[in-house]
Amino acid sequence: MPRFFSLAVLLATAFAVATSTASAASLVSNPVQRPNPPDSVGIRLVDAPADLIRDPRARQYIIDNLEPGVIVKRRIEVSNKSAADLRVAVYAGAADIRKGSFTGAAGHGRNELTTWIKTGQRILDIPAHSRARDTVTIVIPKDAAPGERYGVVWAQVNGRDQGSGITLVSRTGIRLYLSVGGDNPPRAQFTVDNMTAGRDASGRAVVYAKVHNTGGRALDLTGTMKMSQVSGSISAGPYMVDPGTTLAPGQSEPVRVVVPDQVVDGPWDVSLKLKSGLLEETHRARITFPNGPGMAAAVPSHRDEPSSLNRSLISGSAALVLLIAATLTTVRSYRRRAGDDES
For 22-65, the pLDDT digits (tens) are 222 233 434 444 444 444 889 999 887 777 777 778 888 898 88
In angstroms, rounded to a whole number, what is the distance separating the alpha carbons of residues 257 and 249? 23
The count of C-alpha atoms lying within 13 angstroms of the C-alpha of 56, restricted to the half-sphere facing its C-beta, is: 1
In angstroms, rounded to a whole number, what is the distance separating the alpha carbons of residues 86 and 259? 51
Look at 12-16, 45-49, 133-137, 321-325 and tell me which has the smallest mean pLDDT. Answer: 12-16
Nearest Cα to Cα of residue 293 among 206, 203, 195, 207? 203
CA 324 distance to own-chain centroid = 24
Nearest Cα to Cα of residue 140 among 121, 115, 108? 115
Contact assessment for residue 188 and residue 149, using Cβ atoms and an 8 Å cutoff: no
Report, as an integer, the average pLDDT of 310-332. Answer: 44
In angstroms, rounded to a whole number, what is the distance separating the alpha carbons of residues 313 and 275? 27
- On average, the pLDDT of the chain sits at 78
Burial class (CB in 10 A: 0-12, 13-18, 19+), 254: middle
Report, as an integer, the average pLDDT of 263-272. Answer: 93
Nearest Cα to Cα of residue 137 among 78, 184, 92, 89? 92
196: pLDDT strictly greater than 80: yes
Report, as an integer, the average pLDDT of 88-105. Answer: 87
Q: What is the pTM of this model?
A: 0.61
Report, as an integer, the average pLDDT of 256-266. Answer: 92
Digit-coded pLDDT (tens) for 153-164: 999 988 665 565
Q: Specify the amino acid at residue 94.
A: A
273: pLDDT strictly greater than 90: yes
